[in-house]
Amino acid sequence: MRILLLHPNYHSGGAEIAGNWPPAWAAYISGALKAAGFADLRFIDAMTNDLSEEQVRAILRTEKPDVIGCTAITPSIYKAERLLEIAKEEHPDALTVLGGIHATFMYQQVLTEAPWIDAIVRGEGEEIIVDLMRAHEDGRWQNDRRSIKGIAYRDGTEVVATVAAPTVKNLDAITPDWSVLEWSKYIYIPMNKRVAIPNMARGCPFTCSFCSQWKFWRDYRIRDPKKVVDEIETLMREHDVGFFILADEEPTINKKKFIAFCEELIRRDLKILWGVNTRVTDILRDEALLPLYRKAGLIHVSLGTEAAAQMKLDRFNKETTVAQNKKAIQLLRDAGIVVEAQFIVGLENETRETLEETYQMARDWKPDLANWAMYTPWPFSDLFRDLGDKVEIFDYEKYNFVTPIMKPDAMDRGELLDGVMNNYRRFYMHKALFSYPWAGSGERRRYLLGCLKAFLKSGFERKFYDLGRVNYWGPQSKGKVDFGFDTSRKRAELGKVEWKTSHNRKLTGPQQAQVMACGGGTEQMSEEAETRVH
């Protein structure tokens, strides 16, 4: 049985300005399938190779697969649906399968608008996809599909979701097949080296209502740090990886495991640099440990410091103070670590004044890098439901952190984009002229100059923030910006979105974290919990 996995060709000018990111999902799914005996498998990365629909169609004709699998985050859902439609046109008898976070929670809407999709894998895919492939290979798919846990499908006009599958309990038993990726294509521009995105844990022990990662992964599980370093060493040896970013939502949540991970990297002396996303509170907690983290190769920390407008909203219940943000940034810089401040902009109460406040914060706090991301309420998050009519754009292709989904009350979207670009221009002009050239010597300075190169490259190519596509050329063009929203796309019926989750913890009391920007949480995992979590 021949299996073809596809990654949709979606671009938005966001994180990809730093390079091409290896689709880890393909390695994990391929590894699970091959371990189960499904060895006739090929992966096509249409995004990295910028393949057109007709190029993908030609590949499908040549490959003649029996199963075509695809994944989708929210902004790439339409691209994924279209690829599977082409697959069904070319191979009507083949099984078309879609996975990923969007389809997991929005399966009713997806199967309604894309009836050519035969099955949706809901949640973690490694074990579910093997069960599905075995049923298909044995000819049991049609008759036994109600008994396959963790899928959704159409039965006539009815959309059926089977009982949720259990989460993968032993993450260390998963063996990804990294060989399916074209490693020469995955270059991290700031380092000019191949980049990998391994994970140390899945899920998060907290349950922020703006976030859906805890819903998708359901329970928090963390790997043996030595096994993670084994994987990194293998990526270096077999695929010439020279930089990695931990894929975890917050890898420092489990302090004990994170320290063990760093100590193992030091013990093996791998001499590889890496980055993480984490929280201000964790940096303050680990002040004395920052030299250890840097010695282990940690060179880039992205902090969720939020935004001025958020601090004025009760829904975000901001407790991380401005002084704490500033201190955390200084601690990281003193340790020789490049620090990036993440600002969320574009809430309904955003104004020119609050945008200016974020710029002044960035200048005062002195992060090495700053990123202004448009507020994007995931359509399957609790917060999206609570926002109600305040969300008026349902073109999910634009849910990409660079397009203003929410319209501020006091600004139009073009003015908002112009204000954000004004912040970028001023911040990085100052850094390029007065900071980066004198940022010390060695790895930190080289890394910052590499980051500047990535920004300049994306700006010159008009890819940054999707500026070329929306026709933004500077302040004079803010009234002519066209975000190209597909207004024919409508809100999914509330009753047809999977809001619930079979989370393994009772969500009561302080465990229900307050809403805030990713990386901006104040919660801490207790030492007892660190020991108990596997």
Q: Give residue-wise pLDDT tens across range 70-95.
A: 999 999 999 999 999 999 999 999 99
Q: What is the pLDDT of residue 12?
A: 92
What does the pLDDT read at residue 532?
Answer: 60
Phi and psi of 166, rounded to 5°? -65, 155
Residue 517 has pLDDT above 80, yes or no: no
pLDDT at 530: 59
User: Which of 122-136, 154-168, 205-219, 372-386 has the weakest average pLDDT?
Assistant: 205-219
- State how far the Cα of 365 lies from the Cα of 341, in Å rounded to an integer: 9
Q: What pLDDT, in 10s, does the model give residues 423-460?
A: 999 999 999 999 998 877 789 999 999 999 999 999 88
The token pair that represents 268 in the structure block: 């093996």
Lowest-pLDDT range of 61-65, 213-217, 222-226, 424-428: 213-217
Q: Which of 2-16, 175-189, 210-224 has the lowest mean pLDDT?
A: 210-224
pLDDT digits (tens, 9 = 90+) for 315-346: 444 445 788 889 999 999 999 999 999 998 99
State yes or no: pLDDT of 58 exceeds 60: yes
- Which two structure tokens, joined as six digits, stand for 526? 């207790």
Residue 215 pLDDT = 76
For residue 384, name the pLDDT band (cuts at 50, 70, 90): confident
State yes or no: pLDDT of 511 exceeds 70: no
Higher pLDDT, residue 534 or 347? 347
* 91: CB partners within 8 A, 6+ apart: 60, 64, 65, 66, 68
Question: Which pLDDT belongs to residue 259?
Answer: 98
Region 43-50: mean pLDDT is: 98
Please tell me the distance from the alpha carbon of residue 205 to that of residue 529, in angstroms, as a whole number: 9
In this predicted structure, what is the pLDDT of residue 322?
A: 81
Is the pLDDT at 512 greater than 80? The verdict is no
CB atoms within 10 A of CB 143: 9
- What does the pLDDT read at residue 413? 97
**What local confidence, expressed as pLDDT, does residue 515 receive?**
37
- The model's confidence at residue 144, banded by pLDDT at 50, 70 and 90, is very high
> Rounded to an integer, what distance in angstroms lies between the CA atom of residue 85 and that of residue 71?
14
368/377 Cα distance (integer angstroms)? 27
Residues 6+ apart with CB under 8 A from 12: 75, 400, 401, 402, 403, 466
**Each residue's pLDDT tens digit, 281-300:** 999 999 999 999 999 999 99
Percent of the chain with pLDDT over 70: 89
pLDDT given for residue 304 in this prediction = 81
Lowest mean pLDDT among 16-20, 238-242, 319-323: 319-323
| pLDDT score recorded for residue 179 | 97
Taking residues 480-507, report their average pLDDT. Answer: 79
First CA to last CA distance, the chain: 35
